[in-house]
A and B are shown apart, each in its own frame.
Chain A
């Protein structure tokens, strides 16, 4: 697999040439973005621009929270899923987690 040019992404924390993740969901969000790009749904530069808008929005939040917000935005911009679909699905997951005893399968 060809490695993407991560250095065009604004403010990304790289350790060597690798992204530095603090939690699993960050790696998941990162990899889904790369996969969407690889499937031709957007250009990498286009992604860098959307991410840049979030990072430079003036809102103070962790880098990968900016990333996640940017990913939700580009997904909506490209009509892959609507904002309300995403919101409802996230809510459904949280409700499913709350009614599921730990160790049992969480399902919607």
Chain B
């Protein structure tokens, strides 16, 4: 396993982000809000910047070799070409899963998440145990997500920073030859693009 670190600076939190974090901290400590319910509300309302954007990127890379090559070379530009632009202007990097290597992304700050393509991070992604354990024992963490990788598959953990964010490109499932891009989009869940899951099998399509 290798961990890519880029920790040359302290964490960044704006005054506004800190005020939001304070509300979240106090209201959940006092039991007035429920983090899981808040996550569900975001998913319900936020369908424009949610993970379907990332799923579109992935499905297009499966169908269009030129786009896939562009994504490898310059993910920021390739993703922007589909209209998914984050105002924060961070650099994106696409990491491609294969039989030989499985990628997993971690970070503790929600501002270090590629939300223009994945929406907001799930609560567990922001939890300290997930991050620290993902770095120490990624295979164990993946097993808890129901993903038991063969020992021949190397696991690479990528630490997102404020400057660079990762999008995991899962492997295209077998048996999807001839699928349209729209059909393929439905096989790509948010977790596949974080790296805690693999793309759904075609049977899983409703």
| A contact residues vs B (CB 8 Å cutoff) | 1, 3, 15, 18-25, 27-32, 34-36, 38-39, 41, 65, 68, 71-72, 75, 80-81, 85-87, 89-94, 97-108
B156 close to chain A: CB less than 8 A: no
B41 touches A24 (CB 8 A): no
Residues on the A chain within 8 Å of B159, using CB: 103
A97 touches B18 (CB 8 A): yes
B25 close to chain A: CB less than 8 A: yes
Q: With A18-B48, A100-B11 as known contacts, state yes or no: A32 contacts B33, CB within 8 Å.
A: yes
Q: With A93-B13, A102-B162 as known contacts, state yes or no: A36 contacts B41, CB within 8 Å.
A: no
Shortest B142–chain A CB gap in Å is 20
B12 close to chain A: CB less than 8 A: yes
B25 touches A108 (CB 8 A): yes
Q: How far is the CA of A24 from the CA of B126 in the complex (A)?
A: 13
A102 touches B161 (CB 8 A): yes
Residues on the B chain within 8 Å of A101, using CB: 7, 9-11
Q: How far is the CA of A91 from the CA of B109 in the complex (A)?
A: 17
A89 touches B25 (CB 8 A): yes
Q: Which 3 A-B pairs have the closest CB atoms?
A: A89-B22, A97-B13, A90-B22
Q: With A72-B19, A72-B23, A102-B162 as known contacts, state yes or no: A31 contacts B11, CB within 8 Å.
A: no
